[in-house]
Structure 1
């Protein structure tokens, strides 16, 4: 339905498994296109139709990753399936955006993607100016054990502007109290660091969470 012949994915992030597993999905069109390859590098067969289990991995199976993946898939099934998980991701993303937009009304915080239709339901990138991104990330980690992501691809790391970005993830095994708690810590950090921000962010996020 998506028109994708080959997809490469990884185990971390939304699939809730430690990094280290790679997934390659292919359809028969892709298999046929590589049927006369002379190199094992482009030959799907040893990995997709192996003679022995270990050949899926080119050697010893990553047992602990597979056990973690099994549990992650169980969690998705127990919640009600992918559609239910995606709906939760979407609601938590909207709650986070509501808080960010409220904060931005009275300070430098700004969502990197202005149009909500173009934003990710998995992670939100923000700009907060100066060195505020780095200062805030350090404060929330040291004072409250909350880890915020660095800005990726905004500017080069040796550019002073690099310190003005951060990211917030809202995917995987995340629920409302985790997100609301993290938002509360971010607001506490801005208070402690004298970073100006608008009022009502947590209430705005709570209203989204309360939606049916």
Structure 2
């Protein structure tokens, strides 16, 4: 058996999720398991079930499943819809494709609005489709808020306005798996009926928890929905959650971590967290532009605060480049997915990320271009550094 030599320093995990887990969260998780029917667990359950609401900006229920975000997708569909129902979906990237494929497998009919994978969902096209649906056959509009594969963010506020303008009764469902605690999200103000998210991205917790924020309208729809569900049934969860418990064995260790993550986000302030993500995303885009590369997201209106997808020059393989970066600098960059596989790579800038983290990552990217012989202009890191310096919050230093 051969052993690789030790690599000093930490691994730079710059994929758009799972993201690095802060020490505070790791420490919180390293506790003995509780009796999940006892008083101490009940206090933990109430703490996380209440605390997570603030991050969705909702007064309603948020259900926590021991599952990936894909489980929450399934819960959203099966609890509100019936076999043969039509759902309107927007193909903004790989994760929209996967959600549509799930809907089809569950026995739903899908009406898909295509894109070139370089923008978010177009609210005008959604309104047009809903106005054409005079019989109200469309029962739900499903959109991915932040498309992790492309780095495009859908304007959910505009989608809601479009649905209201069309006077259509469909439910609005949003995938916020990579946007929760990274992008502006207002479940109640935007009248979203179902918002799903996961623990492993902006929340900074290991994979294994999903979150489902639901409106009163969605709960009412669940009473007549005929798609089969068992593990993901909302009524079982809501009944037990009312007392801080779960209908089956919960992921106690992850819930410890979630409680700490909620505290950390609130300690920083959610608005500050969102502003930090926007700022580091802009710094990243400035670096990419300075290098002379195109960004997958072609319209600034849809820029993602969580991830930037970079298009490689013609004739250069993104995965071969990513391997050079990993082998030489111990940094993982996100791979291109589906139709952009091998043609693009992704730089994640979400979760527990600060200025020096992203500058270190961008330095590795630029050095990787040099080693891989990828043609580029110099100065991408310098452009990001200048922007970060220009936009630094100096009030803390002044107060000190």
Q: TM-score, normalised by structure 2?
A: 0.47
| 1:29 corresponding residue in structure 2 | 217
CA contact (8 A) 1:101 1:110 kept: yes
Q: Counting strand residues as a fraction of each chain, which structure ranks higher?
A: 2
Q: Which runs of structure 2 are paired with 1:12-161 in the superposition (5 Å)?
A: 12-36=200-224, 41=230, 43-50=233-240, 53-55=245-247, 59-80=248-269, 82-104=270-292, 109-128=293-312, 129-155=314-340
The CA distance in 2 between the partners of 1:89 and 1:31, in whole Å, is 33
Alignment partner of 1:126: what SS? Answer: strand
CA contact (8 A) 1:37 1:43 kept: no
Q: In structure 2, do the counterparts of structure 1 residues 60 and 99 end up closer, same or farther at CA, with 3 Å as the change threshold? A: same
CA contact (8 A) 1:112 1:127 kept: yes
Q: In structure 2, do the counterparts of structure 1 residues 27 and 192 end up closer, same or farther at CA, with 3 Å as the change threshold? A: same
Q: Deviations over 1:72-99 (max 9, x none)?
A: 112111112x111010000000000000
The CA distance in 2 between the partners of 1:152 and 1:11, in whole Å, is 21
* Cα deviation, residue 152, structure 1: 1.9
The CA distance in 2 between the partners of 1:2 and 1:61, in whole Å, is 30
CA contact (8 A) 1:130 1:163 kept: no
Q: TM-score, normalised by structure 1?
A: 0.86
Q: In structure 2, do the counterparts of structure 1 residues 29 and 188 end up closer, same or farther at CA, with 3 Å as the change threshold? A: same
* 2:357 equivalent among 158, 178, 182: 178
Moved more, 19-28 or 31-40: 31-40
| 1:207 corresponding residue in structure 2 | 386
CA contact (8 A) 2:237 2:246 kept: no
The CA distance in 2 between the partners of 1:87 and 1:2, in whole Å, is 20
Structure 1 alignment gaps of length 5 or more = 156-161
Q: Counting helix residues as a fraction of each chain, which structure ranks higher?
A: 1
Alignment partner of 1:147: what SS? Answer: strand
The CA distance in 1 between the partners of 2:328 and 2:267, in whole Å, is 34
* Cα deviation, residue 174, structure 1: 0.4
The CA distance in 1 between the partners of 2:196 and 2:339, in whole Å, is 24
- Count the aligned residue pairs: 198
CA contact (8 A) 1:21 1:65 kept: yes
Structure 2 alignment gaps of length 5 or more = 1-188, 393-400
The CA distance in 2 between the partners of 1:140 and 1:90, in whole Å, is 25
CA contact (8 A) 2:316 2:374 kept: no
The CA distance in 1 between the partners of 2:355 and 2:381, in whole Å, is 12
* Cα deviation, residue 154, structure 1: 2.7
